[in-house]
Amino acid sequence: MGNSSSSNRISAQDKAILDMKVQRDKLHQYQKRISTITSRETEIARECLRAGNKSGALLALRRKKYQESLLQKTDQQLAQLETLTSDVEFAQVQKDVIFGLQQGTSVLKEIHKEMGGLEKVEMIMGESAEARAYQEEINDMLGGKMSNQDEDDVEDELEAMERNVSGKTAVDSLPNAPSGVVEGELPDVPIETPEQKAKRRREARAARTQAREPIAA
């Protein structure tokens, strides 16, 4: 009976390792395919900024960030599961491994949904009724799935991209010194504090959330 118990334990462990290998292989396939999409989303964000479409640029970067976060989350989860399955006391962590694999499968399905092809990505710049409906759909989906840190990262990337597209540095964007200012002296220029920036971003997010909510009859 001891041998039978040992065989069952090893069988369950081997199966978990195999399931993880399958998930890892899928993740690598998805990483290659999504990298093409995220590269195009970055370029679309630049094109939108050049056209004065800041909301389109923001949407493209938010979608890219969400996709990258999904890949990173799955990669980290698989790394943790690999550590658990190598544990000599596998029986004690077997439930955690099984749950982790189920979670991994669920996230991989989400990633697969994001690979709608480049034609879907191009709709971010579209102005047709179909394109606008798609943009609203993506905005609604992202609204409940991105963390505040992710949103901050996107805002930082957008601001850096705006400066790059306009060919200005942070110093270039400051106003010229008014007449009467002695050379060598800097005029008082209002600078946005971290607290003010955080407040501005919170208000922008709240506005996006309110725009998604249906109007009461």
How do residues 99-113 score in pLDDT, each as one tens digit?
A: 787 778 787 787 777
Ranking 51-60, 124-133, 182-191 by mean pLDDT, the lowest is 182-191
Q: Which of 82, 92, 70 is nearest to 21 (CA)?
A: 82
Q: How far apart are CA 71 and CA 76, in angstroms?
A: 9
Q: Which amino acid is at 157?
A: E
Segment 65-86, tens digit of pLDDT: 998 988 888 888 778 777 776 6
Q: Which of 34, 16, 20, 1 is nearest to 117 (CA)?
A: 34
60 vs 113, higher pLDDT: 60
Q: Which of 72, 71, 79, 70 is nearest to 97 (CA)?
A: 79
Position 1 scores a pLDDT of 47
Whether 175 shows a pLDDT value over 90: the answer reads: no
Position 87 scores a pLDDT of 64
83 token code pair: 């550590």
Alpha helices in 51-89 (DSSP H): 54-85
Ranking 54-63, 104-113, 117-126, 142-151 by mean pLDDT, the lowest is 104-113
49 token code pair: 């900024």
188 vs 110, higher pLDDT: 110
Q: Which of 146, 117, 134, 135 is nearest to 36 (CA)?
A: 117
**Domain spans of the chain, in order of start:** 12-115, 119-166
Position 207 scores a pLDDT of 65
